Amino acid sequence: MEQVTLDKIKKLFCLEGKVAVITGGAGALGESIAAGLAVYGADIVVTGRTIATLEAAVKGVEKLGRKALAVACDVSKEADVINLVQQTVDTFGKIDILVTVAGIAKRYPAEEFPAEDFQQVMDINVKGTFLTCKHVGRVMKEQGFGKIITISSVRGFAGHPGGYAAYGPSKAAVDGLTKQLATEWAKYNITVNAIAPTIFWTPLTQQVLEDEKLKQVFLSRIPLGRAAVTEDMVGATVYLAAPASDFVTGQILYVDGGCTAG
Ligand SMILES: NC(=O)c1ccc[n+]([C@@H]2O[C@H](COP(=O)([O-])OP(=O)(O)OC[C@H]3O[C@@H](n4cnc5c(N)ncnc54)[C@H](O)[C@@H]3O)[C@@H](O)[C@H]2O)c1
pLDDT of residue 117: 98
Distance 202 CA to ligand 1 centre (A): 9
Distance 144 CA to ligand 1 centre (A): 29
- Which of 204, 210, 234 should be mutated for ligand 1, with most atoms under 8 A from CB? 204
pLDDT of residue 262: 85
pLDDT digits (tens, 9 = 90+) for 114-169: 999 999 999 999 999 999 999 999 999 999 999 999 999 999 999 988 899 999 99
Distance 193 CA to ligand 1 centre (A): 18
Q: How far apart are CA 134 and CA 181, in angstroms?
A: 9
CATH architecture of 3-197+228-254: 3-Layer(aba) Sandwich (3.40)
Q: How far apart are CA 197 and CA 259, in angstroms?
A: 10
Give the ligand 1 atom nearest the CA of 77. Answer: 31
Distance 164 CA to ligand 1 centre (A): 15
Q: How far apart are CA 157 and CA 99, in angstroms?
A: 20
For residue 167, indicate whether it is catalytic.
yes
pLDDT of residue 78: 98
The answer, yes or no, to whether any atom of ligand 1 lies below 6 A from the CB of 252, is no
pLDDT digits (tens, 9 = 90+) for 4-17: 899 999 999 999 99
pLDDT digits (tens, 9 = 90+) for 195-233: 999 998 888 888 888 889 988 988 999 999 999 998 999
pLDDT of residue 218: 86
The answer, yes or no, to whether any atom of ligand 1 lies below 6 A from the CB of 76, is yes
The answer, yes or no, to whether any atom of ligand 1 lies below 6 A from the CB of 61, is no
Domain boundaries, the chain: 3-197+228-254
pLDDT digits (tens, 9 = 90+) for 57-75: 999 999 999 999 999 999 9
